[in-house]
Amino acid sequence: MTLEVLEQTIFDMVQTGKGILAADESQPTMAKRFKPIGVEATEENRRAYRSLLLTTPGLSEFISGVILFEETLLQASDDGTALPEILVGQGIVPGVKVDKGKGPLPGATGDLVTYGLDGLAERLQGYKQQGARFAKWREVYPISQSNPTPLGIEANAEMLARYAAVCQTESLVPIVEPEVLMDGEHDIDRCAEVTEAVLHAVFHALHRHNVILEAMVLKPNMVLPGKECSSHASPEQIAEATVRVLRRSVPAAVPSINFLSGGQEPEESTINLNAMNACFPNEPWELSLSYGRALQQPALQAWQGRAKNGEVTQQALLKRARLNGAARRGEYSPEMEQES
């Protein structure tokens, strides 16, 4: 491990007013994204779409890092430039998703666990050679009356910590992503209870594995009611519940908390991030974003799989990034959605 390398990557990733674009959808997820616009999820279509996103002029004003799917590390833009190289040229840090998907956790009915630790160190060495400077690993926690179980919480925390330790050994900054899912009828209090338990377990495990907290990024869910919950929560209530849980669970040594959007609509995720920064401007960590669909959805709808839509696609992404940049400062307002 080279601590100076990790520190430099954190410095480059954690920038005031900027966030991280998650463009690391697996092939099945890309197929789901492309289906509504009638585009086949071939390798070439995935390359063309992601190349458009990553070559957006001005993106680095609001985006400091991009999480790539592993195939994207080896792809190039239309002019033959490697996509990670394009990001570096813009001053954006390339990273890569390194987990291998999830499946049932034996002994914990209803809980899931993520695969991919076998051979991780060797894969990270290859990703580094291809330009990656950070990595991301996601564990998910469904909420039900009995889930997540104590075993589910502990097993997933252990996986995240082992992954983070391997990353730092290989001089890559780990993004640690424990996602408490929005699916279900649970209310905001139940989400807060589960999220706090999950984060406590994650940081205990990170401590056991000697992970350097100053050289990692946390990517958690916001504390939200479930999608099928009958009671609504305001952005201010979401911000208050989320920050309360973070204060109880996340050490101040962590430099940045980059929220996932987790199924929120683009405008909704921006409003909630803004409330966080407007109501709580003096927290010890950056309160930032690492959005996938919530940044990309307008761009995908503008693209429609047609090369002639390239400029409007990039404009849609840049607008969403700019609005989230304002939310990072607590300066967003819904009226800004109408601006070009």
Active-site annotation, residues: 177, 219
Please enumerate in sequence order all residues whose Cβ is within 8 A of that of 265, keeping only pairs 6 or more positions apart, or say none. Answer: 294, 297
Residue 81: other Cβ atoms inside 10 A:
14
Please enumerate in sequence order all residues whose Cβ is within 8 A of that of 285, keeping only pairs 6 or more positions apart, or say none. Answer: 218, 246, 250, 252, 254, 255, 256, 257
What is the C-alpha R_g of the chain? 19
Write the DSSP symbol of residue 76: B
Q: Which two tokens stand for residue 182?
A: 């929005």
Judge whether 133 and 172 are in contact, CB under 8 Å.
yes
- Cα-based distances in Å from 305 to 28, 46, 171: 17, 10, 37
Q: Which long-range contacts (CB under 8 A, 24 or more apart) does 73-78 make?
A: 73/127, 73/130, 73/131, 73/132, 74/130, 75/47, 75/50, 75/51, 76/47, 76/51, 77/51, 78/48, 78/51
- Cα-based distances in Å from 16 to 45, 54, 102, 239: 33, 20, 33, 19
Ramachandran sector of residue 105 (left: φ over 0; alpha: ψ -120 to 50; beta: rest): beta
| DSSP-derived 3-state class of residue 135 | strand
